[in-house]
Amino acid sequence: MGEPQVDQNQLDQIGDFVKSHLGQWIQEQNISLFPVRDKSLDKELLERMIRVEEGLKNQMELTRQGFENMEKRFIERFEAVDKRFEAVDKRFEAVDKHFEAVDKHFEAVDKRFEDMQHYMDKRFNVQTWIISAGFAMMTILMSLYRFFG
């Protein structure tokens, strides 16, 4: 059984016909596009919508308060972190002062070492001179003893 073939042109003609007569058919059948509803149902729906709007309003207020509380907590946390950093800075300053004191102590030790080095250099110079003079004297005495003796 063969199916009848309908081309696009025929479909367009059928669509135009339906469009032009649709309004008339609806009026003849007495079909309303907007069905009549019960007034009590409308009132109930209106009350429900009001409750939903109030609920949304309350939810928005709670959300806003939650964000404000979160912002306050963030500010408190940042202030606590700032205080901790200030405490760490103070500790670093104390450590810096301690290192400065140690540096001053080492400078004093270095000065004492240099003073001791100068003292020892002078002492060794004197001892070297005395030893050299002693050897010179012994050499002279030995030469004289050999010459006269």
pLDDT tens, residue order, the chain (149 aa): 556 677 888 888 888 898 888 888 777 776 655 555 667 777 888 888 999 999 999 999 999 999 999 999 999 999 999 999 999 999 999 999 998 998 998 898 888 889 888 888 888 888 999 999 999 999 999 999 898 87
**Cα–Cα nearest to 88, from 80, 72, 100:** 80
Cα separation of 116 and 108, whole Å?
12
User: Distance between alpha carbon 124 and the CA centroid of its chain, in Å?
Assistant: 65
What's the pTM? 0.40
Cα separation of 108 and 23, whole Å?
112
In this structure, what token pair is assigned to residue 68? 């404000």
